[in-house]
């Protein structure tokens, strides 16, 4: 390949143009850096060194020197909110909202930040008013999600359902679980007030939204049991195995009470044992143990737990076995067994907790909605010990 002579002349020219462009960029950057208040740069430095208190002081000084710096106001307001100083954050963002020299995009951003301040401060009515102002704007999606959080905190389920329907992806699988739970909350209230026909309609809506809603099947069984249709109740609760077998333990006590009313306790216990073989669960074992102890005696309860321990060793199972052994043991051995059981029981209190799969929050009781992160059905009825034993 031959090299044209003019290429050799062009190389120095290209080099010179590149050098000039770099010099212009460097001068521009240096000019901008000189125009920034030094306290702003100090604030960034404090942030990088994880010193938020000093960063806030530096940014306050920068805002005092240059009040027109909108970005500094946003940064400072966010820092106040993160530190829990919601009153100062509200004042900062309210000042931005009231300024007449902001662009429409900046004003909307300031409104969104103000709504977050109110939400963090627990002023839900004010936060709702702000996010309603953001509806039908470029920040409509943000407003909808924050409104959904507000209505869930307020337990205003009709409004939560309306907002969830307005979300752009409400038809996707992403929101089915949440919307089904909103309907289930309404159905639970209707059941509690003995509005059975209304509860039935809401439950059917929940199952139509999410056919795999375990909570919907539980409530459907509860409704049938309230009406005295025990066979229908048992059928609804049995359906949970095909929806999510982890939640069978929530139906176990309901099933046994229904079988007891029908005079078929033995059939109920046989069903629970079959569930235990297919879907090992400490909570399921707990219910099966109590009913076996009550109906068949301590020896049968002891055998039940012993078989389960051989298949799935657990400290909680050992605690149950010691409870059965204590009842069946001779009088002279009971103090020793009780001592061992107390030692084991003190340990089970640490592992007999439910854990949120989303945020790791642990609680002694089961929640449909995690109190920490707000996720629905993120805390299955599975004890923490089972997470350690089962992959």
Q: Which residue has the higher pLDDT, 283 or 242?
A: 242
Which pLDDT band holds residue 28 (cuts at 50, 70, 90)?
A: very low
Annotated binding site: 356, 359, 370, 373
What distance in Å separates the CA atoms of residue 222 and residue 342, rounded to the nearest whole number? 36
SS (H, E, C) the chain: CCCCHHHHHHHHHHHHHHHHHHHHHHHHHHHHHHHCCHHHHHHHHHHHCCCHHHHHHHHHHHHHHCCCCHHHHHHHHHHHHHCCCHHHHHHHHHHHHHCCCCCHHHHHHHHHHHHHHHHHHCCHHHHHHHHHHCCCCCCHHHHHHHHHHHHHHCCCHHHHHHHHHHCCCCCCHHHHHHHHHHHHHHHHHHHHCCCHHHHHHHHHHHHHHCCCCHHHHHHHHHHHHHCCCHHHHHHHHHCHHHHCHHHHHHHHHHHHHHHHHCCCHHHHHHHHHHHHHHCCCHHHHHHHHHHHHHHHCHHHHHHHHHHHHHHCCCHHHHHHHHHHHHHHCCHHHHHHHHHHHHHHHHHHHHHCCEECCCCCCEECCCCCECCCCCCECCCCCCEHHHHHHCC
59, two tokens: 């940014």
| Lowest mean pLDDT across 237-241, 273-277, 328-332 | 328-332
Report how far apart, in Å, the C-alpha atoms of 374 and of each of 182, 276, 366 are: 13, 30, 14
Q: Which residue has the higher pLDDT, 133 or 78?
A: 133
Residue pLDDT, tens place only, 48-93: 455 555 655 555 555 443 445 667 677 777 877 888 888 888 887 8
Residue 285 domain flag? no
Q: How many domains does the chain have?
A: 2
CATH of the domain at 180: 1.25.40.10
Contact of 320 with 305, CB cutoff 8 Å: yes
What local confidence, expressed as pLDDT, does residue 61 receive? 52
| Lowest mean pLDDT across 26-30, 230-234, 297-301 | 26-30
Residue 308 domain flag? no
Contact of 262 with 233, CB cutoff 8 Å: no
pTM of the model: 0.74
Which pLDDT band holds residue 24 (cuts at 50, 70, 90)?
A: very low
Q: What is the average pLDDT score of the chain?
A: 79
Question: Can you tell me the mean pLDDT for 123-149?
Answer: 92
78, two tokens: 């966010």
Boundary residue ending a domain (222, 243, 264): 243
Annotated binding site for Fe cation: 356, 359, 370, 373
Residue 372 domain flag? yes
Residue 198 domain flag? yes
Question: Can you tell me the mean pLDDT for 180-201?
Answer: 96
Residue 386 domain flag? yes
Residue 46 domain flag? no
Residue 93 domain flag? no
Residue 270 domain flag? no
Residue pLDDT, tens place only, 150-164: 999 999 999 999 998
Q: Which residue has the higher pLDDT, 270 or 169?
A: 270
What local confidence, expressed as pLDDT, does residue 362 receive? 85
Boundary residue ending a domain (216, 243, 270): 243
Domain residues for the domain of 363 are: 353-391
CA 119 from centroid of its chain's CA atoms: 17
Q: Which residue has the higher pLDDT, 2 or 146?
A: 146
Boundary residue ending a domain (205, 228, 243): 243
What local confidence, expressed as pLDDT, does residue 348 receive? 63
Which pLDDT band holds residue 385 (cuts at 50, 70, 90)?
A: low
Q: Which residue has the higher pLDDT, 372 or 48?
A: 372
What distance in Å separates the CA atoms of residue 62 and residue 75, rounded to the nearest whole number? 11
What local confidence, expressed as pLDDT, does residue 34 receive? 44
What local confidence, expressed as pLDDT, does residue 204 receive? 96
């Amino acid at each position: 390949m031959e090299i044209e002579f003019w290429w050799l002349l062009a190389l120095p020219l290209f080099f010179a143009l590149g050098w000039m462009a770099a010099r212009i960029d460097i001068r521009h950057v240096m000019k901008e850096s000189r125009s920034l208040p030094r306290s702003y740069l100090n604030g960034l430095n404090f942030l990088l060194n994880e010193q938020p208190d000093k960063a806030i002081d530096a940014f306050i000084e920068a805002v005092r020197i240059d009040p027109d710096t909108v970005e500094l106001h946003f940064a400072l307001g966010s820092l106040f909110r993160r530190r829990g100083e919601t009153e100062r954050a509200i004042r900062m963002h309210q000042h931005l909202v009231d300024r007449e020299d902001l662009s429409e995009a900046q004003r909307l951003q300031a409104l969104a930040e103000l709504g977050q301040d109110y939400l963090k401060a627990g002023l839900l009515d004010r936060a709702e008013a702000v996010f309603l102002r953001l509806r039908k704007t470029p920040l409509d999606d943000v407003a909808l999600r924050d409104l959904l959080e507000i209505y869930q905190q307020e337990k205003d389920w009709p409004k939560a359902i309306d907002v969830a329907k307005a979300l752009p992806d409400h038809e996707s699988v992403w929101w089915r679980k949440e919307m089904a739970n909103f309907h289930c909350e309404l159905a639970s209230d209707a059941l509690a007030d003995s509005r059975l026909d209304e509860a039935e309609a809401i439950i059917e809506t929940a199952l139509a939204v999410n056919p795999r809603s375990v909570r919907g099947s539980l409530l459907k069984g509860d409704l049938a049991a309230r009406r005295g249709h025990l066979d229908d109740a048992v059928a609804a609760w049995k359906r949970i195995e095909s929806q999510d077998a982890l939640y069978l333990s929530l139906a176990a006590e309901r099933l046994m009470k229904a079988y007891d009313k029908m005079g078929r306790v033995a059939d109920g216990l046989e069903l629970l044992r079959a569930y235990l073989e297919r879907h090992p669960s400490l909570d399921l074992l707990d219910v099966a143990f109590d009913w076996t102890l009550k109906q068949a005696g301590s020896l049968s309860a002891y055998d039940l737990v012993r078989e389960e321990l051989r298949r799935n060793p657990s400290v909680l199972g050992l605690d149950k076995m010691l409870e059965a052994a204590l009842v069946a043991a001779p009088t002279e051995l009971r103090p020793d067994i009780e001592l061992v059981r107390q030692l084991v029981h003190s340990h089970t209190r640490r592992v007999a907790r439910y854990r949120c799969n989303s945020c790791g929050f642990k609680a002694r009781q089961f929640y449909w909605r995690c109190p920490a992160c707000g996720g629905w059905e993120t805390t299955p009825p599975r004890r923490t010990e089972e997470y350690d034993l089962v992959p």
